[in-house]
Amino acid sequence: MSAVVYMGTATLVMNSSGLAVLISSSRLSSWLFGFSFLLSGFNIFASGFFTAISDGRTSAIASFARNFAGIVIFLLVLPKLIGFSGVWLAVPAADLAAVMLSAFLLYEQRNSFVTLRLERCHKKYGRLSQATAK
């Protein structure tokens, strides 16, 4: 988020002619695009989580939805609907759609997580109770 805060200064350094239009455009685009950084953390977590539990298919779906399909779809649709700002909003929109998809995927697999945990607890404590009974 520091990039968003210091965008005016960075634009002044790189904009030697001092065009006010470029400065205001840079600030607006930074705020629009910067929102995606807040959402991408959850998407990275969800994809990494599915990879960690050896569910590569679900991880690939979550990652593909954000990194390719979502960005391409929103880059084609949003500029036609809202103009030039749609270009900058394509990535945050793709991230938001991917957050919703990742949340859905996590919610759909919640029963398998609970079942897996119960099986592990049963194996762990079942063996302990058999060992203490002997």
Q: What are the tens digits of pLDDT across the range 93-107?
A: 999 999 999 999 988
Q: What is the pLDDT of residues 35-58, one digit of tens each?
A: 778 888 888 888 888 888 888 898
Residue with more model confidence, 63 or 115: 63
- Parent domain of 79: 39-133
C-beta separation of 50 from 70 below 8 A = no
- Is residue 7, in this structure, part of any structural domain at all? no
- The answer to whether residue 12 sits within a structural domain is no
In a domain, 120, yes or no: yes
Q: Estimate the crossing angle of helix 85-108 against helix 20-52, to 10 degrees.
A: 20
Q: Confirm whether 22 is domain-assigned.
A: no
Q: Based on the structure, what is the number of domains in the chain?
A: 1
109 within some domain: yes
Whether residue 53 is contained in a domain is answered as yes
Report d(CA 35, CA 33) in Å as an integer: 5
- Residues 113 and 97: their CA atoms lie apart, in Å, by 24
Q: Using an 8 Å Cβ cutoff, are 42 and 65 in contact?
A: no
* Alpha-helix runs per DSSP H in the chain: 2-5, 7-14, 20-52, 56-64, 71-82, 85-108, 110-133
pLDDT at residue 6, as a whole number: 54
CB 69 within 8 A of CB 101: no
Residue 129 lies in a domain: yes
In a domain, 25, yes or no: no
